[in-house]
């Protein structure tokens, strides 16, 4: 195979994998809290970033989504993610705008909506090597405020039947949302131990 044919073959592989990535993300994200992702579209050295956190490696990436599913089921009566839009600002980038809705298990009316953007970068073979979450905001009627971290989103939700939209230490506002934040954060902090347990990455 000459260089021209090899280059064309690589381009063909890129577009096949790009199409698979877009299709997989479109199917996976709305079911994020009910089943595991298809990790075939990601590289083993994938990096996850938000404004405050960085995690590298496919096992850490799997752990993030396992923790979200596990604690989401325990702490919320309803929790779901809706994909608003998928587009490509450039050939090797996939952008997804999403909205997260949740109803925590508390004895009063409490709902929250979080919006954000996931930016996926693809290598020359069309495999995702970086997932960055940004443009985070939580949204209540006539309220729209920014959040610093994807895990900090839950700290912004109503903590009582008479919510106040205050920023401060997580300990100040006990609620199911804060418990969710803490549980996910602690799970990720214990990754060295948890990743050694059989079956964790595929738990659903």
The model's confidence at residue 178, banded by pLDDT at 50, 70 and 90, is low
3-class DSSP state of 12: helix
Q: What average pLDDT does the structure give for the chain?
A: 75
Q: Which two tokens stand for residue 64?
A: 């993030």
Lowest mean pLDDT among 21-35, 130-144, 189-203: 189-203
Between CA 181 and CA 160 the distance in angstroms is: 16
In the prediction, which pLDDT does 203 show?
35
List, in order of start, the domains of the chain with CATH numbers. Answer: 3-202 (3.10.450.50)
Between CA 202 and CA 52 the distance in angstroms is: 26
Q: What percent of the chain has pLDDT over 70?
A: 65
Proportion of the chain in helix, strand, coil states, percent, rounded to 5:
40, 30, 30
Strand partners, 122: 128
Q: Which two tokens stand for residue 58?
A: 């496919």
In the prediction, which pLDDT does 119 show?
96
3-class DSSP state of 134: strand
In the prediction, which pLDDT does 81 show?
92
Please check whether residue 189 is in contact with residue 67, taking contact to mean a CB–CB distance below 8 angstroms: no
pTM of the complete model: 0.73
Instruction: Count Cα atoms within 13 angstroms, Cβ side, for 110.
Output: 22
3-class DSSP state of 72: helix
């Amino acid at each position: 195979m000459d260089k021209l044919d090899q280059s064309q073959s690589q381009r063909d592989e890129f577009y096949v994998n790009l199409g698979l990535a877009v299709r997989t993300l479109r199917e996976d994200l709305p079911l994020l809290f009910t089943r595991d992702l298809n990790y075939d579209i990601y590289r083993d050295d994938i990096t996850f970033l938000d404004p405050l956190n960085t995690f590298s490696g496919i096992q850490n990436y799997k752990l993030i989504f396992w923790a979200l599913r596990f604690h989401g089921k325990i702490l919320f009566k309803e929790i779901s993610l809706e994909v608003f839009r998928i587009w490509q600002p450039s050939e090797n980038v996939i952008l997804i705008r999403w909205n997260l809705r949740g109803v925590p298990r508390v004895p009063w009316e409490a709902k929250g909506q979080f919006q954000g953007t996931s930016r996926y970068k693809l290598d020359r073979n069309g495999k995702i090597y970086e997932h960055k979450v940004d443009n985070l905001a939580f949204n209540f009627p006539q309220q729209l405020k920014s959040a610093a971290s994807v895990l900090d989103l839950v700290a912004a939700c109503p903590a009582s039947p008479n919510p106040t939209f205050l920023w401060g230490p997580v300990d100040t506002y006990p609620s199911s949302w804060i418990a969710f934040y803490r549980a996910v954060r602690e799970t990720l902090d214990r990754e060295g131990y948890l990743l050694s347990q059989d079956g964790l990455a595929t738990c659903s």
